[in-house]
Amino acid sequence: MCETVAFFHKADQWKSKPLLRAIIFDVDGTLAETEELHRASFNTAFKQFGFAWQWDFETYGKLLTTTGGKERIARYAKETDASLAADVILAMHKAKNELYAKAIEAGSLSLRPGVHDVMSKATQRKIKLGIATTTSKSNLDALLRSCFSEKERTGFAAIVCGEDVSRKKPDPEVYLKCLAQLGIRCDEAVAIEDSAVGLASAKAAQLSTIITPSAYTLTDDFNGALAVLPDLSGGLDQILVHFKTA
């Protein structure tokens, strides 16, 4: 296990900087502002299944504290006293994911500012790239196909999705598995997240974490983050300022 390190926002407050060997990205809200597309896809799927549910911005924002689409449907059903069998939840979630994939493939999504540049510069410096997400593999695959070149897609040295873990964020399992795939220690990587739930997951894995809040997480509590940035448009340097490089 890695020893817990106290992180600060100002580089000159560091007593010693760790060596950065990998950057691990969350997906939804971090690589791209996906949540509005997810919300619209959920609402269309509900209608297809004959439900009058329509999640507005506020409702969906509250549901995002529960990670995983199936888990959000189950939570909402319980909160509204609706009786939903597990197979119905699975079918509804599958339909939603298919709608989401079609929307992405139609060009409805773009990466957040700075993501491409940070990835390119990290690769040039031989800093590994990873993905740690509890979204479905089908959702991630759709985003990767739409927003990344084949070379960029193969540039991820480790990818862990929701199907790969038994416990979703804020549990650290997804990050611990990603670190194992990368073959590095927790103090040699930084997580890029957008939410308090993601921050909690990364912190539980003893990862330093940079937050780029999304539209749904602007008011989250990011206490304990290494830094909170509007986005990654400042490039790789705004990450490297906190680390040593080989």
Q: Which two tokens stand for residue 236?
A: 């790789």
* Ramachandran sector of residue 29 (left: φ over 0; alpha: ψ -120 to 50; beta: rest): left
* Residue 12 is among the residues annotated as catalytic for this protein: no
* Residue 26 is among the residues annotated as catalytic for this protein: yes
Choose, from 12, 28, 87, 237, the residue flagged as catalytic: 28
Angle at which helix 69-79 crosses helix 35-48, to 10 degrees, equals 60
Q: Which two tokens stand for residue 70?
A: 């199936």
DSSP structural state of residue 97? H
Q: Rounded to 5 degrees, what are φ and ψ at 237? A: -60, -35
| Other Cβ atoms within 10 Å of 52 Cβ, number | 6
Choose, from 12, 26, 194, 231, the residue flagged as catalytic: 26
Q: Which residues are catalytic?
A: 26, 28
